[in-house]
Amino acid sequence: MKIGVFDSGVGGLTVLHALLDAIPQADYLYLGDTARLPYGSKSATTIARYAVSSVHFLLEQGAEYLVIACNTASALAMNDICAAVSTEVLGVIEPGARAASALSHSKNVCVIGTAATVGSHAYQRALAKLGVNAYEKACPLFVPLVEEGWTEHPVTEQVARIYLEELAREQCSNGNGKADVLVLGCTHYPLLKPLLHRVLPPDMQLVDSAQATAHDVAQHLGLAANTRRREPNIRFFATDSVDKFRLLGSRFLRREIAKVELITLPE
């Protein structure tokens, strides 16, 4: 089984990390559309065009199952991607929403993500279908702070407190009740987990969409993690800056990336 994993950049490597844990017996193709990142600040039409050309490349390379490891593309381009391919496709939104719904007692959850993901209200819709109310908040500084390597920095902690206080104020002014789960609706955010645990109230649980997605892929494919026969074969592709991808990506994947192949995608 060859699984194609797509993201605008290196963030989706947190999803690939979780997939390698959950399904070590598969082979992987990972594409980061680094020439055109970030998707988080672009329009739905543009994001859909970029995402469709990216998944076509993964299919040409032999992908038999597609994981859209990018919250923004999952939120805004899922319909276009599904219409453009006949392969099975899973995004990160539905798995994250399902995991949050299963964990939440109050049926109120908070979701943080990029401006585009939050503006799309894709998590809110997915959670509403499960009877869960969502408080959403865009945290545009988290991605640059993670990319600067400041995952344990006092500045990042201060920024996190400001964003989370705004979320808390919104809950107070709303009649629905207090959230007990926070969904990390951006693939960069798992690197902030230790810091967020310090800043959040102790009874607030975190949902990592990367882990939730890997769990759902394993279920869909009927594969369990207990059959590691060999090191998975992984190929990495990027549309720009392969050296930066290699250096930054190794932090997200939590293993060294030896080689990244540079490709060009049609506009």
Residues of the shown chain interacting with a copy of itself in the complex, contacts defined by CB under 8 A:
34-38, 41-43, 46, 140-141, 143-145, 147-148, 154-155, 158-159, 162, 240-241, 244, 266-267
- Write down the catalytic residue from 82, 139, 172, 186: 186
Q: How far apart are CA 236 and CA 115, in angstroms?
A: 27
Question: Is residue 59 a contact partner of residue 34, using CB atoms and an 8 Å limit?
Answer: no
Per DSSP, 233 falls in state P
Angstrom distances, CA of residue 82 to CA of 75, 88, 155: 13, 8, 40
Q: Nearer Cβ to a copy of itself, position 49 or 178?
A: 49
Which stretch of DSSP H or E encloses residue 103?
Answer: helix 93-103
70 tagged catalytic: yes
Minimum distance, C-beta of residue 80 to a copy of itself, in the bound complex (Å): 16
- Write down the catalytic residue from 70, 82, 110, 172: 70
Among 164, 240, 148, 237, which residue's Cα sits nearest to residue 197? 164
172 tagged catalytic: no
Q: Nearer Cβ to a copy of itself, position 27 or 240?
A: 240
Minimum distance, C-beta of residue 191 to a copy of itself, in the bound complex (Å): 16
| Amino acid, res. 64 | E
Tokens of 256: 């060294």
Q: Nearer Cβ to a copy of itself, position 181 or 191?
A: 191
Minimum distance, C-beta of residue 9 to a copy of itself, in the bound complex (Å): 9
- Residues with catalytic function: 70, 186
